[in-house]
Amino acid sequence: MWEHLSLDLLAHVFSFLPPDSVARAMAACKHWFDCARSRSPPSRQPHWLVALPARAARGRPSCYAHDPALNRWHVLPLDLFPCPLRLVAPVGSSLLCKLAASSDLRLVLLNPFTRQFRNLPDLTMPRRNPAVGIVVRGVDATSDSSSSFSVIVAGGASGSCYEPTVEMYDTGPGGWSLVGPMPVEFAVRLTVWTPNESVHALDGAMYWMTSARAYSVMGFDLGRRAWREVKAPMADRLEWAALVRRPSGKLGLVGGDGDGQGAVWELIEEDKWVAVGRVPAELGRRFWGRSKSAATRCVGGEEAVYLFRDLGSEMLVWSESSSSQIKKNKEGEETWEWRLVQGRCCMPNIPIKAALLHPTLSRSSFPASL
Amino acid sequence: MSTESKEILVGESSQAKPEKKTIVLMASDGDEFVVDVDDITNQSEMIRNLISDMGGTDGLQVPLLNVTAPVLAKLLELFNVSNKNDDDEEVTQKVKELMEAELNMMIDVLGAANYIEATSFFDLSCKVLADKFKGMSVEEVREFLNIECDFTEEELQQIHAENAWAFD
């Protein structure tokens, strides 16, 4: 009877399993294999941290995936793709990457778990190091599908000049189209200092942060096609910082100074930030006591914020505490807590760029064409 | 005068303490189960919608064509546990016990819960199952659920090779 359990029901059971368990379950019988391959109901599992090397690395190209429940890193071979890739941003359950060898931006969509990949068409004009942002539509509605999204590309260098325009790729029509001009000053700053991290916030704007000190945030209102600059909180003292999307859908900023302090702010008005979380002093001392805070990397999403240094290094995680879940349901307020996650010294000590996503082994969530 | 006010009083008190409303669920074999409206609508979205579409519960009989009497009895028993407890601990324990004792019955109950759209109970039961085979090897999963492997040796090797990271 188990072989014949309806696909819907079985897929629902699978949605409560971490991807490694699903991968094993797939090998049980053909019916289960087909189910895991073809169905992708929204995952009921916590996000995994998925990372690619940030610079050229020795050994065979790999993708690294961290299981938060077991604090275990998995190594997924990337030999399916012929050239080295750098991670740009997560798109649903897939990764938007760029070709490391190409100076002009060339994008590839990749799901390291299903070993699917697809090249995006070339941009309307060549751009070196532009800012890239993603708008994903309808992810949380019915599935973790990455089939409907837009890519916004702003600035970048072209020849010996900066390219003061914005262009957009949309999976609907497919292909790139020019959105319009942008202030040259913004194009320069996004090209020279962009960390390529973006947040599409509920207010309809795409935000990037330029890494030049003092940090500042550039916002592009997608509806009105207008640019604005938002001052970062504590801008002159931040040693490291990154943008995250808050559970409220608002823009969040995670950052810290050189003295072992770290905090999370939320943008509540035009130019006004409020602190919504601070790294407890004791944890901060332990985490930053051993190395320079400027080496801190950060990735965050609506369910967690991760601070780390390299692959396999100790991580400082801010997420909803498991004990508070019941309380949250009753009182309706979120209770997040900071915790240190032990490092894994068996991993190669290399710099990484990471993203948070729900891994899927379903091939159906990957776009059939781009 | 006095009788009039008495009648009003009776009217009020019957409004404040209405009799428990019930409806009848009919299993596929025709057996009837009388259930409390609040208890069942608390669990089943399908029945909640049905009652609101029918404009009331008077004499309502709901035939459940896919659900046999023993399965419906078990499902209602578990709903009862769920309704009596604020947290899910107790009902999770009962579903676990059912899974260990009568796996096939548990699957039928799961199917029935899905059919009447008892979403939170269905989720909870799926999670119990998922938790059971989370740490299992594929051989253990097959043995636990009595699944016959219909892959060829070659196909199995291929699946292992593609997901080698999950098997180490």
Residue among B83, B73, B90 at smallest CA distance from B41: B83
- Nearest beta carbon to residue A29 from set B148, B162, B165: B148
pLDDT band at A5 (very low <50, low <70, confident <90, very high): confident
Over residues B136-148, mean pLDDT: 90
Tell whether the model's pLDDT for residue A251 goes beyond 60.
yes
- Nearest beta carbon to residue B147 from set A19, A28, A326: A28
Tell whether the model's pLDDT for residue B150 goes beyond 50.
yes
Length of chain A: 370
Q: Which two tokens stand for residue B161?
A: 């090779």
Q: What is the pLDDT of residues A14-70, one digit of tens each?
A: 999 999 999 999 999 999 999 999 988 888 889 999 999 998 888 888 999 999 999
Over residues B4-22, mean pLDDT: 53
Residue among B53, B49, B133 at smallest CA distance from A17: B133
pLDDT band at A146 (very low <50, low <70, confident <90, very high): low
Contact A353, A44 (CB under 8 A): no
pLDDT band at A260 (very low <50, low <70, confident <90, very high): confident
Measured CA to CA in angstroms, residue B86 lies from A324, A331, B35, B48, B121 at distances of 16, 14, 20, 20, 13
Listed by number, the residues of chain B in 126-145 with a beta carbon closer than 8 Å to a beta carbon of chain A are 126-127, 129-131, 133-138, 141-142, 145
Closest-CA distance, B88 to chain A, in angstroms, reads 10
User: How far is it, in rounded angstroms, from Cα A173 to Cα A163?
Assistant: 24
Over residues B152-161, mean pLDDT: 95
CB contact under 8 A, B166 and A65: no
Lowest mean pLDDT among A38-52, A138-152, A256-270, B94-108: A138-152
**Chain A positions in Cβ-Cβ contact with residue B156 (cut-off 8 Å):** 27
pLDDT (0 to 100) of residue B6: 41
Q: Which residues of A fall below an 8 Å CB-CB distance to B?
A: 1-3, 5-6, 8-9, 12-21, 23-30, 32-33, 44, 65, 74-77, 115, 326, 361
**Chain A positions in Cβ-Cβ contact with residue B146 (cut-off 8 Å):** 2
pLDDT (0 to 100) of residue A2: 64
Closest-CA distance, A66 to chain B, in angstroms, reads 12
B122 to chain A, any CB pair closer than 8 A? The answer is yes
Token pair 């071979």: residue: A77
Percent of chain A's residues with pLDDT above 90: 65
Tell whether the model's pLDDT for residue A367 goes beyond 90.
no
Query: Helices (H) and strands (E) in chain B — how many of each?
Result: 10, 3
pLDDT band at B7 (very low <50, low <70, confident <90, very high): very low
Output the pTM of the full model. Answer: 0.88
pLDDT band at A346 (very low <50, low <70, confident <90, very high): confident
Q: What is the pLDDT of residues B37-75, one digit of tens each?
A: 999 999 999 999 999 998 888 888 999 998 999 999 999
Percent of chain B's residues with pLDDT above 90: 73
User: How far is it, in rounded angstroms, from Cα A266 to Cα A253?
Assistant: 6
pLDDT (0 to 100) of residue B8: 41
Size of interface A-B (CB pairs under 8 A): 94
Nearest residue of A to residue B149, measured between CA atoms: A29
Q: What is the pLDDT of residues A281-299, one digit of tens each?
A: 999 999 988 667 778 999 9
Q: Which two tokens stand for residue A238?
A: 């931040």
B146 to chain A, any CB pair closer than 8 A? The answer is yes
Output the average pLDDT for chain A. 88
Residue among B68, B76, B96 at smallest CA distance from B36: B76
- CATH code for residues B2-161: 3.30.710.10
Tell whether the model's pLDDT for residue B15 goes beyond 70.
no
For testing contact with chain A, the best of B108, B163, B168 (most A CBs within 10 A): B163
Nearest residue of B to residue A44, measured between CA atoms: B127
Nearest residue of A to residue B104, measured between CA atoms: A1
pLDDT band at B12 (very low <50, low <70, confident <90, very high): very low
pLDDT band at A145 (very low <50, low <70, confident <90, very high): low
Contact A42, A140 (CB under 8 A): yes
User: How far is it, in rounded angstroms, from Cα A239 to Cα A328?
Assistant: 33
Nearest residue of A to residue B110, measured between CA atoms: A9
The CA-to-CA distance between both ends of chain A, in Å, stands at 40
**Chain B positions in Cβ-Cβ contact with residue A15 (cut-off 8 Å):** 126
Report the interhelical angle of A19-26 vs B138-145 (nearest 10°).
70
- Nearest beta carbon to residue B159 from set A18, A26, A65: A26
Over residues A314-320, mean pLDDT: 92
State the SS3 of chain A: CHHHCCHHHHHHHHCCCCHHHHHHHHCCCHHHHHHHHHCCCCCCCCCEEEEEECCCCCCCCEEEEEECCCCEEEEEECCCCCCCEEEEEEECCEEEEEECCCCECCEEEEECCCCEEEECCCCCCCCECCEEEEEECCHHHHCCCCCCEEEEEECCEECCEECCEEEEEECCCCCEEEEEECCHHHHHHHHHHCCCCEEECCCCEEEEEECCCCCEEEEEECCCCEEEEEECCCCCCCCEEEEEECCCCCEEEEEECCCCCEEEEEEEECCEEEEEEECCHHHHHHHHCCCCHHHCEEEECCCEEEEECCCCCCEEEEEECHHHHHHHHHHCCCCEEEEEECCCCCCCCCCEEEEEECCCCCHHHCCCCC
Q: What is the pLDDT of residues A63-85, one digit of tens each?
A: 999 999 999 999 999 988 888 99
pLDDT (0 to 100) of residue A141: 43
Give the burial class of B104: count Cβ atoms within 10 A of its Cβ; 0-12 exposed, 13-18 middle, 19 or more buried. exposed
CB contact under 8 A, A21 and B133: yes
pLDDT band at B4 (very low <50, low <70, confident <90, very high): very low
Over residues A275-285, mean pLDDT: 93
CB contact under 8 A, A17 and B149: no
Nearest residue of B to residue A76, measured between CA atoms: B165
**Chain A positions in Cβ-Cβ contact with residue B114 (cut-off 8 Å):** 8-9, 12
Contact A274, A265 (CB under 8 A): yes
User: How far is it, in rounded angstroms, from Cα A264 to Cα A250?
Assistant: 12
CB contact under 8 A, A5 and B163: no
Listed by number, the residues of chain B in 84-103 with a beta carbon closer than 8 Å to a beta carbon of chain A are 87
User: How far is it, in rounded angstroms, from Cα A239 to Cα B117?
Assistant: 52
